[in-house]
Chains A and B, each alone.
Chain A
Amino acid sequence: MLSVEGLQIRYMLTTSSEKTESSYISSREITIALAGNPNAGKSVVFNQLTGGNQIIGNWPGKTVERTEGWVRYRGRRIRIVDLPGIYSLSTYTEEELIAREFIISGTPDVIINVIDASLLERSLFLTLQLLEMERPVLLAVNQLDVAESKGLRTDINTLSKLLGVPAVGIIATKGTGLNKLLTTAIELAEKKERIIPPAYGGEIEQSILELTRLLDGIYQEYPTRWLAIKIIEKDEWLKNLDIPKSILTRAEEIREEIERTHKEPIEVIVSSERYALASRIARSSQYYEKRKKSFLQNLDLVLLHPILGYVSMVLFLFVAFVSLFKIGAIGSSFLEELFSHLDPIIKSISIPETLKNLLWDGVLNGFISGVTIALPYILPFYIFLSFLENSGYLARIAFLTDSIMHKLGLHGKGAIPIIMGYGCNVPAILGTRILESKRERIIASFLSMLIPCSARTVVILGLVGIFLGIKWALVIYILDLIVIYIVGLFMNRYYPGETPGLIMEVPDLRVPVLKPTLRQSWFRIKEFLYVALPYIILGSVLLEIIKLLGWFNAINRILSPIIVNWLGLPPITGIVLIFGLLRKELTLILLSTFSGTTDFSLILNPRQMFIFSFFVTLYIPCLATIASLRKELGRFIAFILVFLEILLSLLLAGILNHLWMYIAS
C-alpha cells in the first residue's frame, strides 16, 4: 500500500498550512498516457493537445515509438505520452511491447483510453483489461462523427456508469471535447480514487473470486484481482513473481476444470468472457439505426476485388505518378524562370572576388537549385502521401499484395513500410516494427532501402523525366520494383525462417479530414526546408571549397575506375555521388551548381542520365537511413545490408551501362 502511505505523508506535511497544500498539488507534474486500439485517434489527440507532429493515418500501426509532449494547463506542466496502438495487453510485435511496458511499468498518473466509438465493442476489450489493472482510466470516446454517420448513437453517461470510470465524448480531428478531456484527466489524477473493475460472468468470475481470496494480502504492489486473472490466464509476466505453490496448484485445477467443460484453451475462454461483458456494455450504451451502404463501402468492395482491385491499384498509381510529374515539371520551370530574372539583380551587388565564389556559386546557387529542382516535386508528393495515408488505401494495398509478399518472405502488412519508403526510408525502417519476426523486419528493411524515396524521386523525375521523357522515368521505377522482387525472392530463399500468416485490421475507407492532413504535409515540407535545404547549401559551399583548394581533380581521378570505366559516367559525378551520402537529391543539385546550369543535357548524354539516376536510386542509403538501420537492427546487420546494397547497385548499374553501350554500338 505504498501509494496510501505516500498520501498520508503528504497529508501530514500539508496540514500545517493550507497554502502549501494547494501549491503542492498544483505544481506536481502529471503524466497522462494515451492508450487504445490502433487507429483510435490517439496521435490526433496528442497532436491537438501538445502541438506535436506525430504521424497520423488510416491504417493500424503508425505510431511505433513512445513519444512525449508537453501541455501547459492553468500554469502547470502536463506530460502527455503517445503510445503505439494495441488490441490487448498480450503482445506480439515490438511496437505493442512498447505500449504494454509503459502501461504496466511506466505508472502514468492517468491513462486516457482513446476508443473509436464506431467500434465500441472491440475497443472495450482493451478497456476492460486496463480496468483489471485498477489504474485510473479515463475513457475518451472518439470519432463520434464517424459513429454518427454509421447510424450509431452513443450514450456516454451510461457507458461511464457501466464501466465505473469517467468518460468524455470527443471528435479529435475537430478538437471537440478536448478541453473537457484534459480537465477531467487532471481531476482524476488528483483524486486518486480506487477503481472497481466490473465483474465478469460464469465460472471465470467465480475462479477469480476464489483466487483473489487465496491471494489476499500476499502482494502489496499489484491489485489482487488482476493477479488472480493473470494466474488463470497463465500469463508470461508472472515469471517475475514468486507465487506460493499451493495457489498455483489450485489454479491449475480450476483451469483444467474450466477447459474440460468448455473444450477450449483457457485463453480463448477468458477472451470470450471479456467479449461477453464488452458486448453487454456496448449494447446498453449504444443505439443503432440502420443506414444504407455508403458510397465508400461500395467503393471498398471494388478496391478489394480479386480482379478489379488490382486494375484500380495499377491505374491509381499510374495516374498519381503522371500527375505528380506534370505538376513538378510545371512548378520547376516556373521557378527557374522566376530566379532567372532575380539572379542578375542579386549578382550585381559588388563584393570581393573570392567571397563571391563562395557566396554566389555556393550558397546562392545551392539555394536556387534546391528550390527549383527539389521543391516542386516534393511539395505535391507530400500532400499526395498524406492523403494516401489518411484515406485507408494503404491497408487495401496490403490486402491485395499479400500473396506476392509471401513470395518475398513477408506478408501483406510488410507492404506498408515498404510503400512508406517512397516518402522517406527512415520512417519505413522504423515502421517495420509492426512485423512479427526479426527475419521479416530485416527483409522489409532491406527492401524499403531499395525504394526510391522522395529525394531520389527528385533525381529520377528532374533528370530522366525532364530530359528523356516520363516513360523512361517510369522504366526506372519498374526496373526498381523488379530488382526488389528478385532480391526478395533471394532473401526468402536463402534466409531460413517462416513467414507468419497475415492478421490485419482493414479500417474503413474515409475521406481524409482536410486540416490534419494538410498539417502533416506541412510538417514534412518544413523538415525539407529546415533540414535538407541547409544540407544542400552546405554541400554547395563545400564543393566550392574543394574546387578552390584544387582537390577536385585528384578526388575524381581516384574514383574514375568505378565512375568512368565501369559506370560510364563523366568524372565530375564521382564527387557528387559522395555528397549524395548526406541526401540523395544533393547529387543532382550539386551537379547543377557545379556546371552552372540546370540544362543537364550539356554535361550528360541520355545513357549517362539513365545510369546516373538508376545508380542514385540504389547505390547507398543516406546517412539518416543508415543511422536508423543501426538503431533498429544493430550495427552488424546494418553493415551487412549497406554493403549488400552497394554491391548490388554497382553490379546492376555497371552491367546496364555496358549492355546499353553494346546495344548502341
Chain B
Amino acid sequence: MIRPLSTLKVGEKGKIVRLIGGTGMIKRLSDLGFVPEQEVEVVRSAPRGPIAIRVKGTIYALGRGVADKIYVDDIQ
C-alpha cells in the first residue's frame, strides 16, 4: 500500500516510490539518498513531532511536514 512515510510506525520499513513538494526539497532529499526504490526504516517517531529515519546506514531527522511528502510502498 502506498502511503506517506510519516504514517509508518517505529520499526516499520518501506520502499520509497516518490517524492512530492518543491524542487529544492526534492533535490535535497534525493542528494541524501531518498531516491525511488530505496529502502527506509523508521527508527523513532514522536507524535506530531519529527521522525528519525534510517537510510543507507545513516539516521536522518525529518520534520513531520517533510515526511508527509515522501511516499513509500511495502517491501515485497
A157 within 8 A of B: no
Instruction: Decide: B36 and A122 in contact? CB cutoff 8 A.
Output: no
Q: Which of A121, A265, A306 contacts B26 (CB 8 A)?
A: A265
Q: Which of A90, A272, A275, A304 contacts B43 (CB 8 A)?
A: A304
For B39-65 the 0/1 string (1 means CB < 8 A from A) is 000011111111010001111111111
Instruction: Decide: B66 and A264 in contact? CB cutoff 8 A.
Output: no
B19 within 8 A of A: yes
A118 within 8 A of B: yes
Alpha-carbon distance A90/B61, docked complex (angstroms): 20
Instruction: Decide: A503 and B62 in contact? CB cutoff 8 A.
Output: yes
Task: Tally chain A residues at the interface, Cβ within 8 Å.
Answer: 38
Instruction: Decide: B36 and A503 in contact? CB cutoff 8 A.
Output: no
Alpha-carbon distance A275/B31, docked complex (angstroms): 9
Instruction: Decide: B49 and A92 in contact? CB cutoff 8 A.
Output: no
- Do A412 and B47 form a contact, CB below 8 Å, given A90-B27, A119-B57, A125-B33? no
Q: Which residue on A lies nearest to B35, using beta carbons?
A: A272
Instruction: Decide: A87 and B50 in contact? CB cutoff 8 A.
Output: no
Q: Which of B30, B44, B62 contacts A304 (CB 8 A)?
A: B44
- Do A122 and B56 form a contact, CB below 8 Å, given A92-B28, A272-B37? yes
Alpha-carbon distance A558/B49, docked complex (angstroms): 52
Would you give the shortest CB distance from A96 to chain B, in whole angstroms?
Answer: 10
Alpha-carbon distance A199/B66, docked complex (angstroms): 32
- Do A501 and B62 form a contact, CB below 8 Å, given A92-B28, A412-B50? yes
Alpha-carbon distance A500/B62, docked complex (angstroms): 11
- Do A403 and B48 form a contact, CB below 8 Å, given A122-B58, A502-B62? yes
B3 within 8 A of A: no
For A247-271 the 0/1 string (1 means CB < 8 A from B) is 0000000000000000011011001
Would you give the shortest CB distance from B48 to chain A, in whole angstroms?
Answer: 7
Q: Which of A301, A406, A502 contacts B66 (CB 8 A)?
A: A502
Instruction: Decide: B23 and A267 in contact? CB cutoff 8 A.
Output: yes
Q: Which of B24, B31, B36 contacts A88 (CB 8 A)?
A: B31
Alpha-carbon distance A90/B48, docked complex (angstroms): 30
Q: Which of B19, B32, B61, B62 contacts A122 (CB 8 A)?
A: B32
- Do A272 and B30 form a contact, CB below 8 Å, given A306-B46, A403-B48? yes
A100 within 8 A of B: no
Would you give the shortest CB distance from B28 to chain A, in whole angstroms?
Answer: 6
Q: Which of A267, A304, A412 contacts B27 (CB 8 A)?
A: A267
For B75, list chain A residues within 8 Å (CB). none
Q: Which of A268, A305, A504 contacts B19 (CB 8 A)?
A: A268
Q: Which residue on B lies nearest to A264, using beta carbons?
A: B36
For A398, list chain B residues within 8 Å (CB). 61
- Do A399 and B66 form a contact, CB below 8 Å, given A122-B58, A267-B26? no
Instruction: Decide: B59 and A506 in contact? CB cutoff 8 A.
Output: yes
For A502, list chain B residues within 8 Å (CB). 50, 61-63, 66
Instruction: Decide: B26 and A268 in contact? CB cutoff 8 A.
Output: yes
Would you give the shortest CB distance from A72 to chain B, in whole angstroms?
Answer: 37
Instruction: Decide: A275 and B35 in contact? CB cutoff 8 A.
Output: yes
- Do A506 and B60 form a contact, CB below 8 Å, given A90-B31, A402-B50? yes
Q: Which residue on A lies nearest to B55, using beta carbons?
A: A122
Alpha-carbon distance A272/B46, docked complex (angstroms): 29
For B63, list chain A residues within 8 Å (CB). 402, 406, 411-412, 501-503
Q: How large is the interface on B (under 10, 10 to 19, 20 to 34, 35 or more residues)?
A: 35 or more
Alpha-carbon distance A275/B47, docked complex (angstroms): 32
Q: Which of A122, A306, A503 contacts B29 (CB 8 A)?
A: A503
Would you give the shortest CB distance from B42 to chain A, in whole angstroms?
Answer: 11
Most buried by A among B38, B44, B47: B44
Would you give the shortest CB distance from B22 to chain A, in whole angstroms?
Answer: 9
Which B1-28 residues have a C-beta within 8 angstroms of A?
18-19, 23-28
Instruction: Decide: A506 and B62 in contact? CB cutoff 8 A.
Output: no
For B30, list chain A residues within 8 Å (CB). 267-268, 271-272
Instruction: Decide: B31 and A264 in contact? CB cutoff 8 A.
Output: no
A337 within 8 A of B: no
For A110-124 the 0/1 string (1 means CB < 8 A from B) is 000000001101100
A505 within 8 A of B: yes
Would you give the shortest CB distance from A492 to chain B, in whole angstroms?
Answer: 15
Instruction: Decide: A118 and B27 in contact? CB cutoff 8 A.
Output: no
Alpha-carbon distance A178/B47, docked complex (angstroms): 46
Instruction: Decide: B49 and A506 in contact? CB cutoff 8 A.
Output: no
Q: Which of B36, B56, B62, B64 contacts A272 (CB 8 A)?
A: B36
Instruction: Decide: A306 and B24 in contact? CB cutoff 8 A.
Output: no
- Do A265 and B49 form a contact, CB below 8 Å, given A271-B30, A398-B61? no
Instruction: Decide: A118 and B65 in contact? CB cutoff 8 A.
Output: no
For A119, list chain B residues within 8 Å (CB). 56-58
Alpha-carbon distance A366/B49, docked complex (angstroms): 50
A-B interface, 9 closest residue pairs, ranked by CB to CB distance from nearest? A501-B63, A502-B63, A271-B30, A501-B66, A88-B31, A304-B44, A402-B50, A306-B46, A272-B35
Interfacial residues, chain B to chain A (CB-CB below 8 A): 18-19, 23-33, 35-38, 43-50, 52, 56-66
Given contacts A503-B62, A506-B59, 13 further A-B contacts (CB under 8 A): A90-B27, A118-B57, A121-B57, A267-B26, A267-B27, A272-B30, A305-B44, A395-B61, A400-B46, A412-B61, A502-B61, A503-B29, A503-B66
Interfacial residues, chain A to chain B (CB-CB below 8 A): 87-88, 90, 92, 118-119, 121-122, 125, 264-265, 267-268, 271-272, 275, 301, 304-306, 395, 398-400, 402-403, 406, 411-412, 500-508
A-B contact pairs, 21 of them (CB 8 A): A92-B24, A118-B57, A121-B56, A122-B58, A264-B18, A267-B26, A271-B35, A272-B30, A304-B43, A304-B44, A306-B45, A403-B48, A501-B62, A501-B66, A502-B61, A502-B66, A504-B60, A505-B59, A505-B61, A506-B52, A507-B58
